Copies of this chain bind each other. A is one copy, B any other.
Amino acid sequence: MKFIRVDMTSKKVRIERVPQKYIGMGGRGLIADLINDEVPARCDPLGPENKLIFAPGLLGGTSLVNTSRIAVGAKSPLTGTIKESNAGGTFGDAAGRLGITAVIIEGRGAGDELFVLRIDERGEPELIQASDLKKKRTYATVVALLDRFGEKNAVVCIGPAGEMGLRAASIQSTDTKARPCRAAGRGGLGAVMGSKQLKAIVMDLRGNVADTLADPAAFELAARDFAKAVRKNPFSRDVMPEFGTAGLIAPVNSLGGFPSYNATKGVFDGWEKISGEAMADMIRKRGGKTTHQGCAKCIIRCSNEFVDKRGKYVTSSLEYETIWSMGGMTGIDSLDVIARLDNLCDDIGIDTMSTGVAVAVAMDAGYKPFGDGAAAIEMVEQIGKGTDFGKILGNGPEEIGRHFGHHRVPVVKGQSISGYDPRAMQGNAVTYATSPMGADHTAGNLICEYVTGKLDPLKVQGQVEASRSSQISMAVVDSIGLCVLASPVLSSPEGAEAFIRAINAKLGSNLKPESLEQMGKRILSAERKFNRKAGFTNKDDRLPRFFYEEPLPPHNTVVNISEEDMDKTLDF
């Protein structure tokens, strides 16, 4: 249990004991409190007062499966709100096994140098000059870093987009094969890292000083039961390894909620060509991997390796949200083009979702025709090169909308929606509008409820309650470090029960299911408190006008949630 605190102004690094008040917290929940306590809410997100926090989940260093997420937090330059964005890979697990509760990056240097934070196998931190990595893309950055520090390291790093301070810049995280293909993509946290002049953190993978468990035997039992529940769950057992998250394309499209051609249609003409089924076929034929373990401690194996016609690696992992943003939204129906765009974004260090949506907004504004894959690649390449247009695009859909004077910009608090149109899925409208994070599917996605028929996506009734419940649950999931794709197991009694037992065995606590609900509410309230201090009010918890005014085919519905209902969602 230690904080590694890095002052980029003085270049001093120190290890701190975790203050009592933060003990028993991790990931998103810890970030919510730390940001509230240490970051002035009105500060410039790219100024010295902001702090960038890397925190594994509470169960990050343990043997519980699928808890290797690394949560990254700061005040977001994209949304202006508090922001937590988490990534898979190996970094969160490595941090947990070194007993690191959080790495806190603060201050800001004067010059234009660049640094790398190295944390060795004893958990000792060191800040190292690394100006030779300037403007390097992420794949090359990781190669250079592993060359220098050895293969047994996890890396989080930024690409040129983060160095340039672009508001859609991501932080990339290495997977089990040391590829920076996992991303904390949302909220422009890569720009915050760039503003701190920090190119990368290199964390030794060989740590074995994880925090002690209050009851190791009970923990092992709980962990075994939890893994069993994950293995039993049809979603994580069948759908995910077969198609990955791309398995969602067919059902979302058939629900008429797959935002296409910059959210002017809810069904994509070429959906079959970019579906999870088509992708699995293609990868199989070309000798790629339709499933593999991308993240530490993962037993779901949703990840894939997309290869080109000659069987050469293009990207990993090609997922639903990227196929949607770079495919459906832009009208591009070629998986090869989409995979190339995914890899480009990872390499440049920019959010695939914001970027795909920004490209779609530009196309909708008449800049290029929908479906023009070569144009999309050229546009994204401009981000990497830092041309004037590239920088505008890299600042996300709102900026590109302003540039073209275009009104149809599907963002909330400046951040793009995800691949679920709020007009066809009214509960996701509630989540987009009210989440303290801006539009974000991982904050409370109701797609499982819709696909399983538990909730009618077009009716108003029940949506606010479902969004609230999902947002509360996700706040907990993101604090424990659990992967969102393992989280459906929590709706099964045995999964939920094993999960709580694991937490209790870790903390020596006696939490009940209601305690987790309280935890989630407390986290959301802390996040909302920060946003209030930063100047946000209920009036900001709204979708853009066109979602209320332009009916989405084929259902021809608009968002029908009232302002009063929106305001009740998180008003605990």
> Is the pair A405, B539 in contact by a Cβ cutoff of 8 Å?
no
CB of A337 closer than 8 Å to a CB of B? no
Instruction: Give Cα A392 to B535, complex, Å.
Output: 26
Task: Provide the bound-state CA to CA distance between A195 and B406, in Å.
Answer: 11
In the complex, the chain B residue whose C-beta lies closest to that of A386 is: B403
- Is residue A518 within 8 Å, beta carbon to beta carbon, of the partner chain? no
Taken together as a complex, chains A and B put the C-alpha atoms of A536 and B536 apart, in Å, by 10
A388's partner among B46, B388, B405, B539 (CB-CB below 8 A) is B388
Cα A387 to Cα B387 with chains together (Å): 12
Q: Quick check: A405 and B535 within 8 Å, CB to CB?
A: no
A: number of interface residues (CB 8 Å): 23
What 0/1 readout, one digit per residue, does chain A (157-182) give for beta carbons within 8 Å of chain B?
Answer: 00000001100000000000000000
Q: Specify which of B44, B391, B402, B407 is in contact with A403 (CB 8 Å cutoff).
A: B391
* Residue ID in chain B nearest A194 by CB atoms: B405
Q: From the candidates B388, B407, B545, name the one contacting A387 in the complex (CB within 8 A).
A: B388
Closest to A405 in B: B165
Known pairs A388-B387, A388-B389, A389-B388; A402 contacts B165 (CB<8 A) = yes
Say if the beta carbon of A537 comes within 8 Å of chain B.
yes
Q: Would B545 and A42 count as touching, CB distance under 8 A?
A: no
In the complex where A47-B545, A164-B405, A165-B402 touch, is A42 in contact with B539 (Cβ < 8 A)? Answer: yes
A8 CB → nearest B CB, Å: 14
If over half of A's interface residues share one DSSP class (helix, strand or loop), that class is named, otherwise mixed; here it is: loop
B539 and A537 contacting across the interface, CB-CB below 8 Å: no
Residues of B within 8 A of A389 (CB): 388
- A549 CB to nearest B CB, Å: 10
With a cutoff of 8 Å between Cβ atoms, the chain B residues found around residue A407 in the complex are 47
Considering the chains assembled together, what is the distance between the CA atoms of A302 and B491 in angstroms? 76
A406 to B, closest residue via Cβ = B165
**How far, in whole Å, are A461 and B565 apart by their CA atoms in the complex?**
51
Chain B residues with CB below 8 A from A405, complex form: 46, 164-165, 195
Known: A44-B545, A195-B405, A535-B540. 20 other contacts (CB 8 A): A42-B539, A42-B540, A46-B405, A47-B407, A47-B545, A164-B405, A165-B402, A165-B405, A387-B388, A388-B388, A388-B389, A388-B392, A388-B403, A391-B403, A392-B392, A395-B402, A535-B535, A535-B536, A535-B537, A535-B539
Chain A to chain B: the 4 pairs with minimum beta-carbon distance, closest first: A388-B388, A388-B389, A165-B405, A42-B539
Can you name 23 A-B pairs with beta carbons within 8 Å?
Answer: A42-B539, A42-B540, A44-B545, A46-B405, A47-B407, A47-B545, A164-B405, A165-B402, A165-B405, A195-B405, A387-B388, A388-B388, A388-B389, A388-B392, A388-B403, A391-B403, A392-B392, A395-B402, A535-B535, A535-B536, A535-B537, A535-B539, A535-B540
